[in-house]
Amino acid sequence: MKALYSRRLLILFPSMLILLLLAVFGQALPEELRSLQVTVWAITLAGFAIGLVLAALGTFLAPGHEAAGREARAVRAPVVGRWAAVNSPASKVPSHGVRGYGQAYAIDLVADPDDGRARPAFGGEAFRASQAYPAFGEPVRAMIDGEVVVASGWRRDHRARSNYLTLVYMMLEGMLREIGGPGWIVGNHVTIRGDDGVHALVAHLQQGSLTVGPGERVRAGQVIGRCGNSGNSSEPHVHAQLMDAQNLLTAQGLPMVFSDVRIGDTDPADVLPENEQHMTASA
């Protein structure tokens, strides 16, 4: 099944193309070929259905490995201020329930500042504006020193999926995004390759906010973009991960901790917050 998953796009794209061609040019086929249309439709629809199922199962079937025993690398937090953790590897691994796209040890961070800007509670309005969330537009920083190898910032910021009905919609939407490849999942993102070969990715950035491009050298803590709501995202947040390669289709996630952050009222330490814990990071 994993081998089949890795070839899912080779099933989906030809099926979609054949269905489109049949829909547009089917009636123009010679009479002797029209009798085959039903058979071709059936085979193609079956292939398309298999491709969709593979996309739905998606990264559950992706190749993966445990980084058991591998020491977590200390990196700079990608944000400054008070943020809450969601889908944290400090609570479970794989943190997002899947290992694909190098996200076994990824963490999601949502802004929850103590300056009076409240993060909207889940529920109620279905598609809340991204601007209603304090995370939207907040600076995002490089986690490591290195060279920018990917910088993609053209995808739009969509509205939040802010109640249970829209979360179901998001799951279906995610299946379609999976067809388009990793870029449609992570949205606008920057990947930095460290000198030791480790890659650091931050994702779901704001459209047009990137301040770096491929080939540029950056320092940990340098602002490289702003938090957005692009890609497969339910609300504006920063998705951060380390991985062993640039290509999200083959990359494996690596464990990390944030340097000198405070969890609640504790002293600064190299640590990751657990789910729902608040982390405060300084510039």
Name residue 42's amino acid. Answer: A
> In terms of pLDDT, which residue wins out, 260 or 22?
260
SS3 assignment, position 277 = coil
> In terms of pLDDT, which residue wins out, 20 or 282?
282
Averaged pLDDT of the chain: 86
Q: Taking a C-beta distance cutoff of 8 angstroms, is the pair 54, 25 a contact? A: no
Q: Is the dihedral of CA 57, 59, 63, 69 positive or negative?
A: negative
The per-residue pLDDT for 64 is 47
At 202-211, the pLDDT tens digits run: 999 999 999 9
> In terms of pLDDT, which residue wins out, 45 or 213?
213
At 89-135, the pLDDT tens digits run: 999 999 998 888 999 999 999 999 988 899 999 988 999 999 999 99
Q: Taking a C-beta distance cutoff of 8 angstroms, is the pair 178, 260 a contact? A: no
Q: Please state whether the predicted TM-score (pTM) of the whole model is above 0.75.
A: yes
Q: How far, CA to CA in Å, does 59 sit from each of 53, 182, 190?
A: 12, 11, 21
**DSSP track, 81-138:** EEEEEES-TTT-SSTTS--GGGTTT-EEEEE--SSS-PPPPSSSSSS--GGGSTTTT-
At 224-239, the pLDDT tens digits run: 999 999 999 999 999 9
Q: How far, CA to CA in Å, does 170 sit from each of 156, 176, 244?
A: 16, 10, 29
Q: What is the DSSP letter of 49?
A: H
The residues facing 218 across adjacent strands are: 146
The per-residue pLDDT for 98 is 85
CA 126, CA 192: separation in Å to the nearest integer? Answer: 35
| Joined tokens for residue 165 | 């009905």
CA 23, CA 36: separation in Å to the nearest integer? Answer: 14
Instruction: Return the percentage of the chain with pLDDT > 90, whole number.
Output: 64
CA 183, CA 76: separation in Å to the nearest integer? Answer: 24
- Measured distance between the N- and C-terminal CA atoms of the chain, rounded to whole angstroms: 45
| Joined tokens for residue 41 | 């439709």
